[in-house]
Amino acid sequence: MKKRIHIKLFTRILLLYILVLSVALYIFTGYVSRNSYALLKEGQIGIHQQIIAALQNTMNDRTKTIKDILLKIYDDEQLFAYIMSMMDVTDQSESVPLDSYERKNMAYKLEDLLSLDPNINNLIFYNSHSQKAYLYMYDLDYAFFDHTEAILQNMPRLRDVSQESFIIPAHPGEYVASQASKNYFDVASNFYYPSSSLFLGRFIVEFGMDDLQYTINQFGKDMKGYLLVLTRDGEVVFDSSSTYYGRKYPYFEQLRQSSDSVMLAEDSIVRTASSDKDPFIYAAVLPKSALKKQLNIFNNSTYIAAIILLLFIFSVYFLVTSIISKRVNRIVKAMSKTVESNLAYRIPLNNKDNEFEQIAIHFNKMCDSLQDHINKSYVYELQQKIAEMKILENQINPHFLYNSLEAIRARLEIDGNDEGGEMIHSLAALFRASLKADSVVTLAEEIDLCNMYLKIFNARYQNFFHYEIEVEPSIMGYGIIKLILQPLIENYLIHGFDRKRQNNLLTIQGYRNENDLRITITDNGSGIGPEKLNEIRQKLTRPSQSSDRGSIGLYNVNERIKLLFGAAYGLEIESSELKGTTIIVRIPCRQPHEIKAAQLEIGNV
């Protein structure tokens, strides 16, 4: 039945946990789904803006490269003269014969121009007077060739001298068969005599697009949509989708400004960039269908991840629940044993630092404490019975003995023996105090008893024994077990007092240490040897094994204190052989009625 109850409890916890977790995951995935569109859109826009910035930098570098090439040509008179000589040739399609050294030198200089940008495909010089166009490129062995017909067919605007510079949009490579599968674009600039600024024709640089495509490919599959580089007339210079090459971009009018909703071939998000000095317009087009497709993939991945996470958590929870159930059953079993009064049973420990192990440790400690408390109560009650029997044995008409001692004292005083009378008086007072039923007295009363006991002994050994009592007045009202100090004094008188010495000294001191009373009994007697001292200390730590429980001595006093006040209290002993011994009594600061209440509590358990 109990097992079923535990299983039912853990099942309820599991079902509640599953329900809460499922609802939390549902809310979370719903929130992610609702907000992921905006996040994906902003992410794509950010990628597009990065690519546009990279394309702008690349195209600006191209413009600068053209200016650098022209400056090098204008600054090098020999190279400029060579180019002029090449442009004046109009009647053949082969290279102009030159001295081999000059040809090689010019080849190096032209190669240096091409090396300014690895994406330069070729250089074209157009003579506006002869209307001839000459091509210079790597694949033609660094030579000029007349390609007028093909060049003018591809670039009819070369004859139009009204524009100082212009862009030739993307076109396939037409001058070498190996380049026919690739697209190129050209930038044309006016070509002058450096000295007179006389217009000669056009200087054209043809660029490949590999680096532009590489810039986009760096973002890999993260980039959706396509990128465009257009002329200001809408002609396509670069198209990452390769869809609109060879024609004007059909939706050029809609690309005038950035917008989150532009109807092109389909509803799209558009970002554009251009400046007044820039001959190009840059555009990033993100069809919303591509964004929604990415959103569906993202949402599906989120749902699948949530389900996998849920299954994983459930598996872990089942495993943890099983482990917890075993540990709980172990504790329940121990509690059942305790209910059956089997206080000897202890929960086996696994030496692991967790809550269940702590519960097991404290449960075992509780059983130890309970069993110890029961044992203490039994021992205390047994000792009380023994003490009562001792009192009954010794109380043979005690009042008769007390009255007899008083009669003897009176007789001695009548005869003039005051000292003997004083001894009898002290003995009678001591005997009367011992007959009182109270087992708890004030410290002042206990000190008085000790004083009377020491007076009797001192009267016997007047010149051989001395004693001192130094107790703080502020602690005299605290309670103490009756006759707890007398056995300790007697222990010295029996074992430490030397009848041959005249300087035997016993000192009793009492003071408060925080919440405890400390009473020290110090003598200058024969002391205790190291082995014997160690044996006594060990027995004091194990009071139940110290000595005969009926004896009234060092061990009995220690055990009575520990039974009443706990293991933290009792006797401590310090001794040096031939130098003396100190016994320290440590008890809590309590009023007499508090100690009596503690005695009753122990006796009633």
Report the pLDDT averaged over residues 440-465.
87
SS3 405: helix
pLDDT > 50? residue 2: no
Report the pLDDT averaged over residues 442-459.
88
Contacts of 170 (CB under 8 A, 6+ apart): 183, 184, 185, 209, 236, 237, 238, 239, 245, 246
| 484-542 per-position pLDDT tens digit | 898 899 888 888 888 888 889 999 999 999 999 999 999 998 889 899 999 999 888 87
* pLDDT > 70: percent of the chain: 80
What pLDDT shows up at residue 519?
97
Helical spans, DSSP H, in 285-354: 288-339
359 vs 594, more confident: 594
| 563-579 per-position pLDDT tens digit | 888 889 999 999 998 88
- Could you tell me the pLDDT band of residue 93, with boundaries at 50, 70 and 90? very low
pLDDT > 90? residue 470: yes
Mark 409-427 as b/e (b = at least 16 C-beta within 10 Å). beebeeeeeeebbbbbbbb
7 vs 192, more confident: 192
Q: What is the largest CA-CA distance in the chain?
A: 174
H/E element, 79: helix 77-88
Whether 439-604 and 1-301 are alike in CATH topology: the answer is no
Extents of the domains making up the chain: 1-301, 439-604
- CA 371 to CA 394: how far, in whole Å? 34
Domain 439-604, what fold?
Heat Shock Protein 90 (3.30.565)
SS3 183: strand
| 326-381 per-position pLDDT tens digit | 777 777 777 777 777 676 777 777 776 677 777 777 777 788 777 777 776 666 66
> What's the mean pLDDT when you consider all of the chain?
79
Mark 319-332 as b/e (b = at least 16 C-beta within 10 Å). eebeeeeebeeeee
- Could you tell me the pLDDT band of residue 479, with boundaries at 50, 70 and 90? very high
Domain 1-301, what fold?
Beta-Lactamase (3.30.450)
